[in-house]
Homo-oligomer: A and B are copies of this chain.
């Protein structure tokens, strides 16, 4: 199984509508590939909030409108912020039936809203236990950060460094939401409190944007990248069901399966894309993915291991924090970055000798986790 095409839009507060983002993503993804639309057997659409935010569901049929008389199977998948990862996982299972499958992810969050984004985003959490008690996501992740910081005796400074590194990476990515922004530790440290201990720079932004990939059964182009594994795991939706908030079980289960299937160990992975919806989730991801033991992620930040000149760069596109987080596109943008780096097409932000990359895409409080491992052909 191979990735034979990638495409994305700029991320940010954009003028485009949701249909326009999907169209632009489709166009860019096909243009990158050696394939034509007539080679595509099926399409998967990844989107989280088209209904509540944009009043637009049935996006599979919307995409069909772009392709008159094509009439191929098109399906929309939603698993909150892990919609991309779930779509990739599902599409892979369908490669036995279709030789090539296109996956399009998009989200329109900054305008065209018929409901508020905060209320809509909360729909990824349990309505009766969490939403109704005010546990919107910044609040839930604040509880996680409190528990993590107390358990391992760290302070907010390490989270500020996570934010800084992601912003530095985004400054090399012209398509990132926060490209060309000069962000300093002082600015980060002094930013307004959102939910203690998380301040504004601990939180990924609302972004508009789209990203897409084409999966192919066979390797027919020298720019193709190999899919070594794709794994999915689930966990309870409510934070009230979790005994330990400092680790996400679904990430660990999916990662263990993915390492096993791809016959790799964490140290063999050259670059990681992790789901840093909040800075604290980047620390948890590093531990759940086995880059270090529980409680030791801070060391990887301080010793530079995950910076772009470190041994295992993380979020070289800027991550959710600074590349942006247009939810339905987020996991696909991670794949876009891994493929770009493995192909050696990352330009100014290219990392040397990237052979293997891993993407972690989660939904809610880790209620869904998708792990994808890619490798050079």
Contacts and interface: CB of A to CB of B under 8 A. Distances in A.
Given A19-B128, A363-B58, A123 B51 contact: yes
Interface string A182-212: 0000000000000000000000000000000
A62 B70 CA distance: 35
A218 interface: no
Contact of A58 (B80, B97, B115): B80
A235 interface: yes
A43 to B, nearest CB: 8
Interface in A239-273: 241, 249-250, 253
Contacts of A119: 55
Interface stretch (A71-79, A287-295, A301-309): A71-79
Interface string A115-128: 10001101111111
A350 interface: no
Nearest to A83: B76
A63 to B, nearest CB: 8
A90 interface: yes
A110 interface: no
Contacts of A93: 90, 93-94, 96-97
A219 interface: no
A236 interface: yes
Main secondary structure of the interface of A (DSSP, over half): mixed
A270 B122 CA distance: 47
Contacts of A90: 75, 90, 93-94
Interface residues of A, number: 64
Given A57-B123, A60-B368, A97-B93, A236 B72 contact: no
A372 interface: no
A131 interface: yes
A344 interface: no
A152 B192 CA distance: 67
Oligomeric state, in copies: 2
Q: Which interface residue of A96, A125, A131, A234 has the most chain B CB atoms within 10 A?
A: A234
Nearest to A367: B61
Nearest to A87: B75
Given A51-B123, A77-B75, A61 B234 contact: yes
Q: Which interface residue of A72, A90, A241 has the most chain B CB atoms within 10 A?
A: A90
Contacts of A97: 93
A72 B127 contact: no
B65 A238 contact: yes
Nearest to A50: B123
Q: Which interface residue of A48, A73, A241, A367 has the most chain B CB atoms within 10 A?
A: A73
A194 B54 CA distance: 27
A76 B94 CA distance: 16
Given A55-B127, A56-B127, A61 B237 contact: yes
Interface of A: 17, 19, 48-52, 54-58, 60-65, 68, 70-80, 86, 89-90, 93-94, 96-97, 115, 119-120, 122-128, 131, 231-238, 241, 249-250, 253, 363-364, 367-368
Shortest 10 CB-CB contacts between residues of A and residues of B: A61-B367, A64-B234, A73-B232, A58-B80, A61-B237, A65-B236, A57-B123, A58-B124, A51-B51, A93-B94
